[in-house]
Chain A
Amino acid sequence: MVKFLGKSVYKGIAIGPVHVLKKEEQKVKRNKTEDPEKEIEKVGQAVLQAQQQLQKLYDKALKEVGETSAAIFEVHQMMLEDEDYLDAIHNMIRTELVGAEYAVAVTGDNFSQMFAGMDDDYMRARAADVKDISNRLIQCLSGQDGSDFAFEEPSIIVADDLSPSETVQMDKEKILAFVTVHGSANSHTSILARMMNIPALIGVPLDLSQIRSGMKAVVDGMQGEVVFEPDEGVCEEAANKLAKEKEKLHLLQELKGKENVTLGGKHVHVYANIGGVGDVGYVLENDAGGIGLFRSEFLYLGREDFPTEEEQLQAYRQVLQTMGEKKVIIRTLDIGADKQVDYFHLGKEENPALGYRAIRICLKQPDIFKTQLRALFRATVYGNLSIMYPMITSTEEVARIFEIVEEVKTELAKAQIPFKDPEQGIMIETPAAVMIGDELAQMVDFFSIGTNDLTQYTLAIDRQNEKLDDFYNPHHKAILKMIQMVVDSAHKYGKWAGICGELGGDLELTEEFVKMGVDELSVSPSLILPLRKRIRELS
């Protein structure tokens, strides 16, 4: 039994025989030619042939993995038409009087080295694309198919590296997993593996000569490990995990498209919490009814200066357009406390959870706030947007927010920039907001309860302090009473109330929340379907 670790690009489990893909090293010998023009003509024909192959691959990928992922083959076609690339090949044939295959091989290496030397992960991964098209050309020139895709049984594919064309060419039904020595998470192979829901490990430090086709192996994408010739214990454990995975998948299929309704006919909206544009895929995959909490902080984190209005607009627009008619609740910036950003120059605080954060920053530094509001209001025309303000403690704060909102709307109207009036709500995460819920409910369109902060402020327990773990009781009666108060306040004035904190996904409390009249639960995407299942079991 030998175990290797790698980077997991799709978390799944596979058990089965190994198929080692040994690519014939395309050793192209330097050969002289007497007739360079004839070699150049051969290149032209090979390009045409390669284009046709790529068109077929594009069509196959389009059917199997969708347009976005298939686009790589369109790009490959364009790369094959690239003037610089073709000129370099032609020049080499003419000046050095070498054969077409050799000229393509050298040019391919040169161009792929250019990409490999770039300082950007994404562009570095493009080196593989250049290699892929060059190898394809060489295959067309030499009239051979270098790869060996013929395997009967569904197998775990082990290879040095896989090109996108190889990934798509294989029969999906026969692939249990991918394990490669090289490759990056940004490579199209990784992307394709994710789209096809195939467990994949990359960067596994394997010696391929030690691995034989037909060996048994277990790939565990959750642990990021592959075990060759596993013992019974490992197999059994993997089989159990696989069974659980299958059950989850089954649940998914069964519950997709179903309503979140109790046996007694009570409807609850189940939305997703996300922290970036990239998470939207999971939202749709798990069939969420909308996005209940889109943390806008990601726009501000990991950079050196404030994001511009345009940058924000692009991000919001992308999410809104992807979600279509579905509701998307974007929370305005919640920086401060545990989320520090250098360029905000917030300074150190004794007690950041009770400090200068979230809406407090926005009201003190309205320029930052207005940029975000302008971007949000401009984004309203692209979908079903709601705006939510965090860390509210008083009606004065809400009144001040609306004054600033009015200023923004007036400015936009003056500049003839179109926008719609979005639903606007607040987070209820301070005991103060709970107590004045009746007044707040008359000012806003909805409440969303942030149970993490509400619990920390109510129980006076610092979430970061491990010593207090024994005292931290998220099911504390005080919290549940507060949730009831918030829901009642909202309903009294015809508004809706939801929960977007961790408690929302606590299946032990779902029944109680439904009884309380909670209208919406927003949870991480992976909890959507388990929560739907729970709701549908309730009487």
Chain B
Amino acid sequence: MQKFSYVIKDEVGIHARPAGLLVKEAKKYESTIQIVKDSKSAVATKLMAVMGLGVKCGDTVEVEVEGPDEAAAFEGIKAFFESNL
């Protein structure tokens, strides 16, 4: 498993549209991508669960990637966070 933590910079946090884009990105990979905020976690391919985390600007999230295409998924998702969130 590979993981990274990230501080959200987008003013409104992971709101509807970025969450939608995140889901699209996550669906490209076979690996399971988990977003963890405090004690809650959500699988990145599930839109409502991701929105349900209520991630706001300034929050730190842990992103865990595990599966066959782990390395590619890790890079892809990390780049997504950096340029969109």
Residues of A within 8 A of B (CB): 71-72, 74-75, 78-79, 81-85, 111, 114-115, 118-120, 122-123, 126, 129-130, 277, 308, 310-311, 314-315
Could you tell me the distance in whole angstroms from the C-beta of A280 to the nearest C-beta in chain B?
Answer: 12
Q: Encode B35-55 as 1/0 by CB contact (under 8 A) with A.
A: 000000000011111011010
Beyond A78-B20, A122-B15, whether A83 also contacts B45 by CB under 8 A is: yes
Tell me, in angstroms, the Cα distance from A72 to B57 when the chains sit together: 20
CB pair A75–B52 under 8 Å, yes or no, is no
Could you tell me the distance in whole angstroms from the C-beta of B42 to the nearest C-beta in chain A?
Answer: 9
Instruction: Tell me which residues across on chain B come within 8 A of A311, comparing CB atoms.
Output: 9, 57-58
Instruction: List which B1-40 residues lie within 8 A (CB) of chain A.
Output: 7, 9-13, 15-17, 19-20, 23-24
Beyond A74-B20, A122-B12, A122-B15, whether A79 also contacts B54 by CB under 8 A is: no
Judge if B56 is at the interface, Cβ distance under 8 Å.
Answer: yes
Size category of the B interface is: 20 to 34
CB pair A78–B23 under 8 Å, yes or no, is yes
CB pair B49–A84 under 8 Å, yes or no, is yes
Instruction: Tell me which residues across on chain A come within 8 A of B58, comparing CB atoms.
Output: 311
CB pair A114–B56 under 8 Å, yes or no, is no
Known: A78-B20, A79-B47, A314-B11. 9 other contacts (CB 8 A): A72-B16, A75-B20, A81-B47, A83-B45, A84-B48, A114-B48, A120-B54, A277-B11, A310-B9
Instruction: Tell me which residues across on chain A come within 8 A of B46, comparing CB atoms.
Output: 82-84
- Say what secondary structure dominates the interface of chain A: helix
CB pair A75–B54 under 8 Å, yes or no, is no
Residues of B within 8 A of A (CB): 7, 9-13, 15-17, 19-20, 23-24, 45-49, 51-52, 54, 56-58
CB pair A114–B52 under 8 Å, yes or no, is yes
Tell me, in angstroms, the Cα distance from A220 to B54 when the chains sit together: 35
Tell me, in angstroms, the Cα distance from A391 to B48 when the chains sit together: 49
Tell me, in angstroms, the Cα distance from A277 to B47 when the chains sit together: 27
CB pair B9–A314 under 8 Å, yes or no, is yes
Interface pairs A-B: 7 shortest CB-CB: A78-B20, A75-B16, A82-B47, A314-B9, A82-B48, A118-B54, A71-B17
Instruction: Tell me which residues across on chain B come within 8 A of A78, comparing CB atoms.
Output: 20, 23-24, 47
Could you tell me the distance in whole angstroms from the C-beta of A175 to the nearest C-beta in chain B?
Answer: 24
CB pair B20–A130 under 8 Å, yes or no, is no
Q: What are 24 sample pairs from A and B whose C-beta atoms fall under 8 A apart?
A: A71-B16, A74-B17, A75-B20, A75-B47, A78-B47, A81-B47, A82-B47, A83-B45, A85-B48, A114-B48, A115-B52, A118-B52, A120-B54, A120-B56, A122-B13, A123-B15, A126-B51, A129-B16, A310-B7, A311-B9, A311-B58, A314-B10, A314-B11, A315-B11
Tell me, in angstroms, the Cα distance from A123 to B57 when the chains sit together: 13
Question: CB-nearest residue of chain B relative to A68?
Answer: B17
CB pair B11–A126 under 8 Å, yes or no, is no
Question: CB-nearest residue of chain A relative to B58?
Answer: A311
Could you tell me the distance in whole angstroms from the C-beta of B52 to the nearest C-beta in chain A?
Answer: 6
Tell me, in angstroms, the Cα distance from A75 to B21 when the chains sit together: 9
Tell me, in angstroms, the Cα distance from A248 to B9 when the chains sit together: 38
Instruction: Tell me which residues across on chain B come within 8 A of A75, comparing CB atoms.
Output: 16-17, 19-20, 47
Instruction: Tell me which residues across on chain A come within 8 A of B54, comparing CB atoms.
Output: 118-120, 123
Instruction: Tell me which residues across on chain B come within 8 A of A122, comparing CB atoms.
Output: 12-13, 15
Could you tell me the distance in whole angstroms from the C-beta of A9 to the nearest C-beta in chain B?
Answer: 17
Tell me, in angstroms, the Cα distance from A310 to B19 when the chains sit together: 21
Instruction: Tell me which residues across on chain A come within 8 A of B20, comparing CB atoms.
Output: 74-75, 78
Tell me, in angstroms, the Cα distance from A239 to B45 when the chains sit together: 53
Question: CB-nearest residue of chain B relative to A277?
Answer: B11
Tell me, in angstroms, the Cα distance from A114 to B45 when the chains sit together: 18
Instruction: Tell me which residues across on chain B come within 8 A of A118, comparing CB atoms.
Output: 52, 54
Question: CB-nearest residue of chain B relative to A129?
Answer: B16
Tell me, in angstroms, the Cα distance from A85 to B56 when the chains sit together: 23
Tell me, in angstroms, the Cα distance from A514 to B10 when the chains sit together: 42
Instruction: Tell me which residues across on chain B come within 8 A of A129, comparing CB atoms.
Output: 16
